[in-house]
Amino acid sequence: MIGIVNYGAGNIFSLTAALKRLGLKYGMVNSESDFDLYERIIIPGVGHAGAAMKKLIDTGLVPKIKSLTKPVLGICVGMQLITDFSEEGNSEMLGIIPIKTLKFKEEISKKVPHMGWNKIFLEKENPLFKDIDNGTYFYFVHSYYIEFNSKFTISYCNYGTKFAASIQKNNFYGVQFHPEKSGEAGEKLLQNFAQ
């Protein structure tokens, strides 16, 4: 069963709708003890990374999240939260993966935010992308990106600059795109995470 960290900055509705469609059981994580009820954890997130981090701190769940050994998936801003630092609000993040979240520069990238379908390319094999083809399109909405680092990047995307579309360190995974809005490929990724 999947636990969704409910801290007031996540796009819970579209995520839960996707999990329901897939027949994946889930519940909400509102307190430290709730983490024990689930085998896997999702940290969703939309909006401002600095504001989302403050909301997460206010829940008191940060020490528990950092100590988790079960699989954790951060989606969009949820992925940015597991990095060291975000230029959005010049905020310290959870510091789980030692990379930074940076702002797209309009003169290099096309339009900001990066919004819509874009291809991702696999940097390395990973169970999260089992049976998902290299060059598959996923749906993105973001103005900040996570720097490419071959040690932690599972897949990357190009939008004026090459950035990490998904990352991993130990049991922590992150995806910058929205799997819940990415059709069959996104549903496959959520199933892979659930398994």
* Residue 71 and residue 103 in contact, taking contact as beta carbons nearer than 8 Å: no
* Residue 88 and residue 28 in contact, taking contact as beta carbons nearer than 8 Å: no
CA distance linking residue 101 with residue 146, whole number of Å: 4
Q: Please say whether the dihedral angle defined by the alpha carbons of residues 113, 148, 81 and 13, taken in this order, is positive or negative.
A: positive
> Has 178 been annotated as catalytic?
yes
List the beta strands (DSSP E) in the chain: 2-5, 26-29, 40-43, 72-75, 83-86, 91-92, 97-103, 114-119, 121-122, 137-142, 144-147, 153-158, 162-169, 172-175
At residue 29, what are phi and psi to the nearest 5 degrees? -100, 110
Element (H, E) at 13: helix 12-21
Give 181's contacts (C-beta < 8 A, 6+ positions apart).
14, 139
The one catalytic residue among 76, 88, 123, 157: 76
The one catalytic residue among 48, 88, 142, 180: 180
Local structure of 45: helix, strand or coil: coil
The one catalytic residue among 48, 114, 142, 178: 178
Q: Which residues are catalytic?
A: 76, 178, 180
